[in-house]
A and B are shown apart, each in its own frame.
Chain A
Amino acid sequence: MLSRFSDVLQTAADVLAPPATRLEDFEYHWKMILNFYQNYDENSKLHVEETRIPHHLHQMLQLIVDEEKEQQGGTVGPCMEAIVQRSICLLDALCALAAAERPPGARALALTTGTALLRRTRQPCVNSAHVYRPLQRMLIQCNESPASPTEKEEVELLLTLCGLVRKEPGLANIFTTPFVEDKSTLLSIPEDIQKLIPIRSKIQTPKKNPLFEVELPPNPLRNVSIIRTGKDDGCNATSSSSADDNASCKSHKTVYDDNDKFLLIDLLLSYLNSADNQVVLRACEGIMIVSSLPEDDIANLVTSCSPACETIVDKLAAKYKCVPANVVASDVEHLNITWAYVAQDFGDKSYSKFHGYKELTSFFSWLDYCDTLMKECHPTIAAHLSRTFRQNFLEGVAEHGVADLHHAVIVTAILAKCLKVVDSPDLINEFSNWLVGDGEVSEWPLLHTLINNCLTDNYELTLETLRFFETPSYKLASGRRDGEVSEWPLLHTLINNCLTDNYELTLETLRFFETPSYKLASGRRDGEVSEWPLLHTLINNCLTDNYELTLETLRFFETIIEKGTEHSIHRVVLARVTSRGYFAPQPLTDDDERDRLNDLSLGREREYNREAMKQLQHEDHVNEQITDILSHEGLDPKQHDEGSENIHRVINSFLLLLPRAILSDPVGADYEHYIHDAHRRYQYWLDATSTFHWPSDYNWVDTTASSTHSYDSRPEADIHLDDAFEPLKPDHIAKHDPKHFSQKLVLRSRDLTSQTSETEEFDEGPFFKMIFKLLLNMPNQPYQVNLHLTSIISQLALLPHPNLHEYLLNPMLPTAKKTPTLFKTLQEVARRLTMEIPRLRNFKKIIENTRLWLMSEDPTYDENADHNQLVESLIVLEEFCKELAAVAFVKYQHTLHMQR
């Protein structure tokens, strides 16, 4: 009853004095704020939170949010309209509050209110000048005082704007040149606002001399169109009724001049140096949001009109320089840092696990940010950022340390870790190219040889080769030159001509390379290949007597191969073997196969020797095992087909490399484990290299091993030069699969090389030289070094490249006497171990114990002084042989599956 009565009263009251409209409420709160400032006492110490200002601002905000809920069809309600038309200049007032910071705390309040307005409303009308201009002003003014206590609120507002730009890319215009006033204007408060809020702001004049400020043309107050490419769906944004709001301005800038600015990014960058990790994190997020916009012109703005990429990379370099030089290399290995989580982790004061932890974490988290940014951002920015990374960090800062023997260990460890963790294709590419040199050397082995010949220190050869390039056919080709210029313009043009998609030109140029003068030149090849200096330094670092440096550099090489690009693997590993120069048929010798494999003694003597009996039994056992495994795979060895016989022989060679007497595990129980592991890794490499332009030769395993019967293990290499070129008329080639064409050429080049190979030694190149040298030195090296060394080689053996496969995994490969191969080197090591180990007293027991220790992976073992390095190397070698046999088997098996 009572309530009904009050209802009636209320209705009556409403008729007499209707409740205030939302706009009236809005105006009321606005006036209350103005009143406060009209009567404000400058000396008052009252904090803003103790005044009614936050309440009034909150109410105004709430009114805007409420009215938006009732609006339909993208129209703007009266409160928002008052702001857009600046009849209630709320945002300008916020800006004045932020500038004056009166009462204390007003700046933070102004910033959070601005942020809340943008976040809570669906249509904050940022494209209206009366909205964006005060926001710009507020950001610039706050930004003028670095390390301010309101950094957090400032960066939140910035991030919110980034979010809006991400949704409406056209809004980016607000932060580009024609819509950004010059700084001095932005640093002052409009006069009408000064009258409304009569408090002196802290910042009234710019700190920098305005005379040197860039003068930007005055621009009319207009709306910024959020349509960038002429789409006509912008009605949802330009909805205000004001006349001048309809005059939208489109910006289609493609050319940027020095004065062009991208204020949004510039502001974000300035927060990267904050001491507050949360602020840095927010700035990072903002940069990522803007950089990942798909619009090309925004990407161009970031790279051409802002120092974003340079600043980000310089920050990485600065963090790198902060890492103490005496950090322990193995600590670096175990770091796993995600950039986004570090800000929170660093709040944890007890967060320091070892010496240099904080600096390393800081560096690697920033690297992770760079890497993530490159994966997420626009391709233009990714390309620019990765180039900057290489120039300003790798070349500018890190490279020096690799050659500096005092710091090389830790520098190598850090760089290896860097390469290991990065994931962005652009970054891996630049990183690899920095390591191995850029791509001016082509994949064509022929050209490669020629170029190398030009670069030897044998000037006669250089002269001859260069002269050859000056032949008339070159001149013909140069008339069609369209490539880039390098130090050797002549050569470069030729190479470019080979690599155009004009196959006629390619054909012509290649034919030219086949002239006798080339053959003359290649016959005299004897110089060292000029290597990329950095790679050279790394290789040399492996060969110092500092085993710690060797170990770290080997680890680095492991990563370099793991993360290898086609180019970098070619440069480091394949450059020499693609020529097949190692292949040299030798006359048959009468050695019994087993004697060749096993240098212990002659077969007849063994019969009388108990140990020899065991050795024979052992060999039979191994053979049985292999037969077992082969038949398991559906290969019947009794069929005696050549393939299975050959693979049998290959596996045998590796498994019987060491005599039974010194084996630590003669039973070979874990062979299955190695096969399983090789399977998994081979599959990885097949996937990883599937896009590489490597010759795919499915017969390779099959034929590699057949060399005892036929020395030319590549019948397909018999294709004649004429076959490679003649049947394919230029017009046919264009339609023809270029891959096939290139394969034929590669085959041709093999032929050419093998013709001369009897007279010259194969140069395996600095990388394999280093690998073989270390391998030979196994008995003298620490266990860890040997472990990483063999791991690199087994990785290489897995690569699905026919030449590399043949070079590493064919024990019966005919080569010139002095040409080093993996198997020859292993035999050498085995010979030495077979000699030296039986001289140790009680050697069987030592072998047994060492194996147990190593397999237990007991960490205290390393500190144990009396471990036997020689025996350790034996066990590494023994296991390595099993691994190689497994790799050979798995690759063979794969070939069979491909054939079926």
Chain B
Amino acid sequence: MAYAYLFKYIIIGDTGVGKSCLLLQFTDKRFQPVHDLTIGVEFGARMITIDGKQIKLQIWDTAGQEAFRSITRSYYRGAAGALLVYDITRRDTFNHLTTWLEDARQHSNSNMVIMLIGNKSDLESRREVKKEEGEAFAREHGLVFMETSAKTAANVEEAFINTAKEIYEKIQEGVFDINNEANGIKIGPQHSTAGGASGAGGAGAGGAAGGGCC
């Protein structure tokens, strides 16, 4: 399916905070209470519309366990957006945010949009982290913040789409170099097919034009 842009996302955060459930809710609109432990990285994709433009989101759901950190680090570089998730019913997952943020900032490109997500907002009775604390953390570190529930789907759509909007705005402002694949953004095929429609000969000519700088 044709799209104007493709954004690459990663979801990070401690094990058990509901990263895989958020992805499943966003891509399949369902909630699965019993879930396999994520090993390495899982992948999901969905199309959304921003400003009348089709945008394809490719989402990599990473393993939260320390054991797989060597793999998840590989995904920071080349992502345009990150959802940093904690569990509002587990204080420790909130306390680890700084470590996650440091890791992400160190390995990602500096323009990566990071959205802070307090998940499991349906479990109000077991809440350990106040909403205000999440907001304060986000303010302090320049993140966008939102509480979600992968179970009831509350704010899940918004979390993914708001991140995309932020990236989209950065593109409009010229902050992202969309030709650099390391930024996690790709221009859709419809832009390039306009030139590629001339058929097989087009590729050769394009190559020659690109190399003509010296």
Seen from chain A, the residues whose Cβ lies within 8 Å of a Cβ on chain B are 65, 115-116, 119-120, 159-160, 162-163, 166-167, 282, 285-286, 288-289, 292, 328-331, 334-341, 344, 348, 350, 352-355, 372, 376-377, 547-548, 551, 782, 784, 859, 862-863
Contacts and interface: CB of A to CB of B under 8 A. Distances in A.
A551 B34 contact: no
A330 B211 contact: yes
Contacts of B73: 372, 376
A547 B214 CA distance: 9
A120 B192 contact: no
Contact of B36 (A119, A551, A863): A119
Contact of B213 (A167, A330, A341): A330
Contacts of B179: 334
Interface-central residue, A341, A348, A350, by most chain B CB under 10 Å? A341
A782 B213 CA distance: 11
Interface-central residue, B68, B180, B192, by most chain A CB under 10 Å? B68
B203 A551 contact: no
B77 interface: yes
Interface-central residue, B73, B77, B196, by most chain A CB under 10 Å? B77
A159 B36 CA distance: 13
Given A355-B203, A863-B212, A116 B36 contact: yes
Interface stretch (B37-45, B88-96, B120-128, B162-170): B37-45
A22 B189 CA distance: 55
A548 B214 contact: yes
B199 interface: no
A119 B39 contact: yes
A65 B34 contact: yes
Contact of B78 (A328, A329, A338, A353): A338
30 contacts: A119-B37, A120-B36, A159-B39, A163-B37, A163-B67, A167-B67, A285-B40, A285-B41, A289-B68, A328-B208, A329-B211, A330-B211, A330-B214, A331-B211, A336-B78, A336-B180, A336-B182, A338-B77, A338-B181, A338-B182, A339-B74, A340-B41, A340-B71, A344-B43, A348-B189, A353-B206, A354-B206, A376-B70, A376-B73, A548-B214
Given A163-B67, A285-B71, A340-B75, A862 B213 contact: yes
Nearest to B75: A340
B203 A288 contact: no
Interface in B175-214: 179-182, 189, 192-193, 196, 203-204, 206-208, 210-214
B67 A166 contact: yes
B214 A784 contact: yes
Interface string B39-81: 1110100000000000000101001010110110111011000
Nearest to B196: A350
Interface of B: 8, 34, 36-37, 39-41, 43, 58, 60, 63, 65, 67-68, 70-71, 73-75, 77-78, 179-182, 189, 192-193, 196, 203-204, 206-208, 210-214
A328 B214 contact: no
Nearest to B190: A350
Contacts of A65: 34
Given A167-B67, A331-B207, A350-B189, A340 B78 contact: yes
A377 B73 CA distance: 13
Given A65-B34, A163-B39, A328 B211 contact: yes
Contacts of B75: 338, 340-341
A344 B34 CA distance: 27
B213 A344 contact: no
B70 A288 contact: yes
Nearest to A355: B207
A288 B212 contact: no
A288 B206 CA distance: 38
Given A163-B68, A289-B70, A340-B75, A330 B210 contact: yes
A341 B68 contact: no
A611 to B, nearest CB: 36
Given A120-B34, A547-B214, 17 more contacts: A116-B36, A163-B63, A163-B67, A166-B67, A288-B70, A328-B211, A329-B211, A330-B213, A331-B207, A340-B75, A341-B75, A341-B78, A350-B189, A350-B193, A354-B203, A372-B74, A376-B70
A289 B75 CA distance: 15
Nearest to B182: A336
A790 B2 CA distance: 45
B58 A344 contact: yes
Interface residues of chain A: helix, strand, loop or mixed (majority): helix
Contacts of B67: 163, 166-167, 289
Given A166-B67, A288-B70, A337 B212 contact: no
A331 B214 contact: no
A215 to B, nearest CB: 35
Contact of B207 (A119, A328, A337, A376): A328
Contacts of A341: 8, 75, 78
Contacts of B182: 336, 338
A547 to B, nearest CB: 7
A658 B60 CA distance: 57
Given A350-B189, A354-B206, A372-B74, A160 B213 contact: no
A340 B40 CA distance: 11
B36 A350 contact: no
Contacts of A167: 65, 67
Contacts of A862: 212-214
A199 to B, nearest CB: 29
Contacts of B40: 159, 163, 282, 285-286, 289
Nearest to B58: A344
Contact of A331 (B39, B181, B210): B210
B69 to A, nearest CB: 9
A376 B70 CA distance: 6
A350 B192 contact: yes
Contacts of B189: 348, 350
A899 to B, nearest CB: 34
Contacts of A116: 36
Interface-central residue, A285, A334, A344, by most chain B CB under 10 Å? A285
A328 B39 contact: no
B44 to A, nearest CB: 11
Nearest to A782: B214
9 tightest A-B CB contacts, nearest first: A328-B211, A338-B78, A336-B182, A376-B70, A166-B67, A119-B36, A163-B39, A285-B40, A292-B70
A65 B39 CA distance: 18
Nearest to A161: B39
Nearest to B188: A350
Given A784-B214, A863-B212, A354 B41 contact: no
Contacts of B208: 328
A65 B78 CA distance: 37
Nearest to A329: B211
A350 B192 CA distance: 9
Contacts of A289: 40, 67-68, 70-71
A312 B40 CA distance: 20
Interface-central residue, B34, B70, B192, by most chain A CB under 10 Å? B70
A65 B36 CA distance: 11
B68 A354 contact: no
Given A119-B36, A163-B67, A862-B214, A340 B74 contact: yes
Contacts of B8: 341
A337 B8 CA distance: 13
A547 B63 CA distance: 50
Nearest to B35: A120
B66 to A, nearest CB: 9
Contacts of A355: 203-204, 207
Interface-central residue, A116, A355, A784, by most chain B CB under 10 Å? A355
A278 to B, nearest CB: 8
Contacts of A350: 189, 192-193, 196
A288 B71 contact: yes
Contacts of B181: 335-338
A692 B68 CA distance: 34
Contacts of B36: 115-116, 119-120
Nearest to B2: A350
